[in-house]
Chain A
Amino acid sequence: MVPGPDLAPGSAGSLGPALGEARSLIESCGLRFEPGFDDLVTVYEQERLVACGARAGYVLKMLAIAPSHQGSDTLGELVTRLVQSGLAAGQDTLFVFTPPQNAPSFQALNFRLLVTQGQAALLEYGPGLPAYLAAHAAQITPGRNGAVVINGNPFTLGHLHLVEQAAARVDRLFLFVVREDRSVFPFAVRYRLAREATAHLANVTLLDTSRYAVSAGTFPSYFLKRLDALSAAQMQIDLCLFAEALAPPFHLATRFVGEEPLCPTTAAYNQMMAQVLGEHGIGLVVVPRIESGGLPISATRVRAAFRTGDFDTLAELVPPATLAFLRSEAARPIQTQLEEV
Chain B
Amino acid sequence: MRIRSKASAGTMQSSDLMVVVEPSDTLRIDVDSTVKKQYEHLIRAQIGATLEQLQVSAGHIQISDRGALDYAIAARVETAIRRAAKE
Contact = CB atoms under 8 A, between A and B. Distances in A.
Interface of A: 1-4, 6-7, 9, 73, 76-77, 79-80, 83-84, 87, 92, 108-110, 125-127
Contacts of A127: 30, 62
A102 B33 CA distance: 19
A9 B13 contact: no
A80 B7 contact: no
B8 A77 contact: no
A127 B60 CA distance: 11
A228 B2 CA distance: 52
Contacts of A73: 13-14
B13 A6 contact: no
Interface of B: 6-16, 18, 20, 30, 32-34, 62, 64-66, 68, 72, 76, 79, 83
A125 B18 CA distance: 12
Contacts of B76: 6
A83 B13 contact: no
B11 A80 contact: yes
Contacts of B7: 9
Nearest to A109: B12
Contact of A76 (B8, B14, B72): B14
A110 B15 contact: no
Given A9-B83, A127-B30, A76 B20 contact: no
13 contacts: A1-B15, A2-B15, A3-B15, A3-B72, A6-B10, A6-B76, A77-B11, A79-B12, A87-B8, A110-B32, A110-B64, A110-B66, A126-B62
Contact of A92 (B10, B15, B20): B20
Contacts of A108: 34, 66
Contacts of A84: 8
Contacts of B18: 80, 83
A18 B33 CA distance: 34
Nearest to A107: B34
Given A6-B9, A84-B8, A127-B62, A110 B34 contact: yes
A87 B33 CA distance: 19
A73 B13 CA distance: 6
Top 9 closest pairs, chain A to chain B, by CB: A3-B16, A76-B13, A80-B11, A110-B32, A80-B12, A110-B64, A76-B12, A73-B14, A79-B12
Nearest to A92: B20
A76 B34 CA distance: 13
B12 A83 contact: yes
